[in-house]
Structure 1
């Protein structure tokens, strides 16, 4: 029996494209990374993390160092972040089905808490965050242990290749969403358990 639906944040619940690009370009100017245009995001979606790091001229080992700076800049534009269409209704329906809802994200708790409060999303009580870009599997394992859950009692909803990897490592089923930051061809080799293209389709999966 499914007890929890865990969501990623950016690219899954929150449409943060404009703010992400603005925050990135502030860092790019400071550290001599390649700047981004909003219209370039679709091309980036088809690249792996390594390919993106090469294109943007940021070594992978610098990512954990840069992330705290990035999310500070992100916080400055957080009022421009909004839920994707249909997200709030979908979350309400998930709760009505008797499932609890959590977020596991590499964004900061402060940013996510502000977003939830600003949009009066009250059915998400638990938020776990990691500054490590590949740290979600550890957070999922910790969550399962603390809640005394079996992997079969949880499903994770995310949009990126690394989300699928984390779920494969933990034995948790994964729902990939088609409106986020990784293109379908990037995640397909890992065979996510489910693929959806609208928030309403998530309800059909967990049903």
Structure 2
């Protein structure tokens, strides 16, 4: 097996939270005084980097921690509205049964993450949550250390450009899913090590095929 540890993002990767985000972002914008997102802006923002998005919305960096805390509270209140993508439980189960350690690094709280994952939370050996917008590299390093994993056999799987950048910052492989927040073209332009268009492609990429019985 090429990887012994897979570090997953949550929102947009395992949990289908983008529709909730679109319903909520302008209330958050009004609360914190940054620019609202117009419907015609959405596709362009999906092709932008995180710093470009912050610049377009005129979000001061010093407000980010308060915005993140507020968003986590809103997600907790809307837990029933956010479900896992189809096939997540089967994919995670297959990776775990193949002997691959699973970790979750997310900007959401661990409480919210475990609630969204449900029974699948038990498949994860490591949680490192409440990551700041640009804080994933430090959390990746901590998870890799806790897992006792060789970085050459670790991959991070996410749905945003910053997930690819964070993986490169710590010298691990990157995987990008095409069903989340960022546009597939924006992800492919960053040349991740793996690009997944369907959930079952993750299973087929990392799990050995079943051997034929004698």
TM-score (norm 2): 0.86
Q: Which position in structure 1 is the counterpart of 2:107?
A: 106
Q: Is the 8 A contact 2:79 2:112 kept in 1?
A: yes
Q: Which position in structure 2 is the counterpart of 1:71?
A: 72
1:34-56 Cα distance to aligned partner (Å, 9 max, x none): 33467854332111222222332
The answer for unaligned runs of 5 or more in structure 1 is none
Give distance in 1, aligned partners of 2:35 and 2:171. Answer: 37
Give distance in 1, aligned partners of 2:105 and 2:7. Answer: 7
Determine if the alignment matches structure 1 residue 203 to structure 2 residue 203: yes
Q: Which position in structure 2 is the counterpart of 1:26?
A: 27
Give distance in 2, aligned partners of 1:204 and 1:140. Answer: 24
Q: Is the 8 A contact 1:5 1:157 kept in 2?
A: yes
Larger radius of gyration: 2
Determine if the alignment matches structure 1 residue 58 to structure 2 residue 59: yes
2:123 is paired with a residue whose SS is: coil
1:147-167 Cα distance to aligned partner (Å, 9 max, x none): 221112222111111111111
Q: Which position in structure 1 is the counterpart of 2:210?
A: none
**CA shift for structure 1 position 84:** 1.0
The answer for unaligned runs of 5 or more in structure 2 is 208-214
Q: Provide the alpha-carbon RMSD of the alignment.
A: 2.0
Matched length: 205
Q: Which position in structure 2 is the counterpart of 1:149?
A: 149
TM-score (norm 1): 0.89
Give distance in 1, aligned partners of 2:124 and 2:143. Answer: 15
Change (3 A) 1:39 1:125: farther
1:58 is paired with a residue whose SS is: coil
**CA shift for structure 1 position 138:** 0.7
Change (3 A) 1:12 1:164: same
